[in-house]
Amino acid sequence: MPLIQMDNNSKLSSKQYYINLIIVAIFTGLIISGYKLAISFVSKNMRLLLTFCKSQAGGFIYFLASFLLLALVVQLLTNLDKFSTMGSGIPVIYGLLNNKWTVKWQTALPIRFITSSLTVGSGLTLGREGPSVQLGGLVGEAVSKIQSVKDESAYKDYVSAGSASALAVAFNTPLAGVAFYIEELAKKINKQVFLTSTLTVLIAVTVSNFILPNQPTLLNVPHFPALSANYYLFVIGLAIVTAASGILFSYLILNSNKFYALSKVKDRYKFYLPFIIAAIWIYFDPHLFGVGEEMMEPNWAVSGNLRLLCYFYIAKLLLLFLAFGISVPGGNLVPLLVIGAVIGNLYASTLIYLGLLQPKDLYFFVLLALCAHFSAIVRTPITSALLVFEMSGGAFSYLFSLLLVSFTAYAIAEYCKVPAFYEDLYKKMLAKQANSSACK
């Protein structure tokens, strides 16, 4: 019996199926690597622009004007294909997998690549991972169309494989990519799902490692020994606090579009608001430039000013709220990880202040908070644990603490009946499409 069971009516041979998967993996690795390099290029030059503007008389006006120009360029490009290129991009993949709509990959792929490179690299509080997942899915879509794939099962495999491989390349986390395929895309496990996901993820990450450094997302993370059972109560407490933050995050971000609905100003003008607010805030506080990945680094995780941590939490949540509410191209996974890191720092710093925790344990709890926040919001507990494990370079000698905090946060969010973030976004997208069709 063949390992991959294809539909009896499929026009694809087993050999062609594998060839197409390999093509999807190679091009996903190339495109996501290029996407990450493009973001770095834009970010580097925007930081130089910020430094230059701050040294010039009237520099604030120049910096604000650059963001307005950026908003105009992004708006003009997204207007060419609003449906496929605005917001996170992950719900678009859900629709493809469920045969709810079609997309023109020839326009959606380059527009998504360019606009998300500009928004994520410019300093807005947006992440690279949502657009990465869509870009990978669009590679699968492109291969299917070019190869005239008629088999629906094979088509879904190509789109799912591209999306999961893209996530793996975005974070350099192959295990998390495989888990994401299983938990979030296929929502099942069998030989075909396992082989398809593993094959494409490994090839895509290998291709990426020839272009980008083969290193974990978080550098210089200390090695953590197995957690003593005496700390389990603190871990569960962290899961509760982080789950509460995740519930707040989901409620605010998923309903952020309602804020813009309060105004009768046309959407094309509202689109400029997050760029204006971000430009002003970044200019006067450069620490808020970008999504804030440095807040997940060991050097940043120092017990200290609780007010400053609260400020960063509110600032990052507000900036994401403004950008996401008007569907600026960009993701929210890295922002939710960053906000989780701040929550972990707040929680651990409080315990240290109370004499219940040692300062050396602070970063351990920051990483646990990343995992719990991801799990509570996205609702993928295994992916969450593996993602943080790989991002930290395998710093955990025992995964129980990650699994404990991940599944506890997951269970709390489920008990509170909070919708999974991307599933809710997808449902809203379906409803919006249905309303648009009814109005025609």
Per-residue DSSP letter, 8 = T
Cβ 328 vs Cβ 335: under 8 Å: no
Q: Is residue 5 part of a domain?
A: no
Distance CA 114, CA 414 (A): 36
Q: Based on the fold, state whether residues 181 and 254 are members of the same structural domain.
A: no
Q: Based on the fold, state whether residues 155 and 287 are members of the same structural domain.
A: no
Mean pLDDT, range 56-80, rounded to an integer: 96
Q: Is 18 exposed, middle or buried (0-12, 13-18, 19+ CB in 10 A)?
A: middle
- In terms of residue numbers, what domain contains 143? 16-210
CATH code for position 377: 1.10.3080.10
Mean pLDDT, range 416-440, rounded to an integer: 83
Q: Is residue 440 part of a domain?
A: no
Largest CA distance in the chain: 74
pLDDT above 70: residue 233: yes
Whole-angstrom CA distances from 412 to 236, 241, 385 are 11, 10, 16
Q: For 69-96, how does the pLDDT look when each residue is reduced to its tens digit (9 = 90+)?
A: 999 999 999 999 988 999 899 999 999 9
Per-residue DSSP letter, 224 = B
Q: Based on the fold, state whether residues 293 and 382 are members of the same structural domain.
A: yes
Reported residue count of the chain is 440
Q: Is residue 338 part of a domain?
A: yes
Report pLDDT for 10.
47
Distance CA 292, CA 431 (A): 33
Report pLDDT for 302.
64
Distance CA 340, CA 419 (A): 18
Q: Based on the fold, state whether residues 54 and 187 are members of the same structural domain.
A: yes
Residue of 234, 142, 126, 217 whose CA lies nearest to 176: 217
Q: Is residue 224 part of a domain?
A: no
Token pair 């090839």 in the structure block, residue = 203
Whole-angstrom CA distances from 68 to 30, 76, 122, 273 are 31, 12, 11, 9
Q: For 275-313, how does the pLDDT look when each residue is reduced to its tens digit (9 = 90+)?
A: 999 999 999 999 999 999 989 998 886 656 889 999 999
Cβ 90 vs Cβ 134: under 8 Å: yes
Instruction: Please say which residue of 175, 210, 245 terminates a domain.
Output: 210
63: β partners: none
Determine the Cα angle at 72 with ends 66 and 73, to 5°.
Answer: 90
Per-residue DSSP letter, 42 = H
Q: Based on the fold, state whether residues 109 and 258 are members of the same structural domain.
A: no
Q: Is residue 6 part of a domain?
A: no
Distance CA 185, CA 182 (A): 6
DSSP state letters, 320-331: HHHHHHTT-S-B
Distance CA 394, CA 276 (A): 40
Distance CA 363, CA 357 (A): 11
pLDDT above 50: residue 6: no
Q: Based on the fold, state whether residues 61 and 184 are members of the same structural domain.
A: yes
Instruction: Please say which residue of 210, 240, 267 terminates a domain.
Output: 210
Cβ 125 vs Cβ 278: under 8 Å: yes
Q: Based on the fold, state whether residues 256 and 395 are members of the same structural domain.
A: yes
Amino acid at 71: A
Mean pLDDT, range 347-356, rounded to an integer: 93
State the total domains in the chain: 2
Cβ 193 vs Cβ 181: under 8 Å: yes
pLDDT above 80: residue 223: yes
Cβ 167 vs Cβ 181: under 8 Å: no
> Percent of the chain beyond pLDDT 90?
80
Q: Based on the fold, state whether residues 204 and 275 are members of the same structural domain.
A: no
Q: Based on the fold, state whether residues 246 and 201 are members of the same structural domain.
A: no
Q: Is residue 216 part of a domain?
A: no
Instruction: Please say which residue of 152, 175, 210 terminates a domain.
Output: 210
Q: Is residue 340 part of a domain?
A: yes
Token pair 């929680």 in the structure block, residue = 347
Q: Is residue 439 part of a domain?
A: no
Q: Based on the fold, state whether residues 175 and 236 are members of the same structural domain.
A: no
Residue of 332, 267, 329 whose CA lies nearest to 73: 329
Mean pLDDT, range 262-275, rounded to an integer: 92
Q: Based on the fold, state whether residues 85 and 136 are members of the same structural domain.
A: yes
Q: Based on the fold, state whether residues 284 and 189 are members of the same structural domain.
A: no
Amino acid at 374: F
Report pLDDT for 9.
41
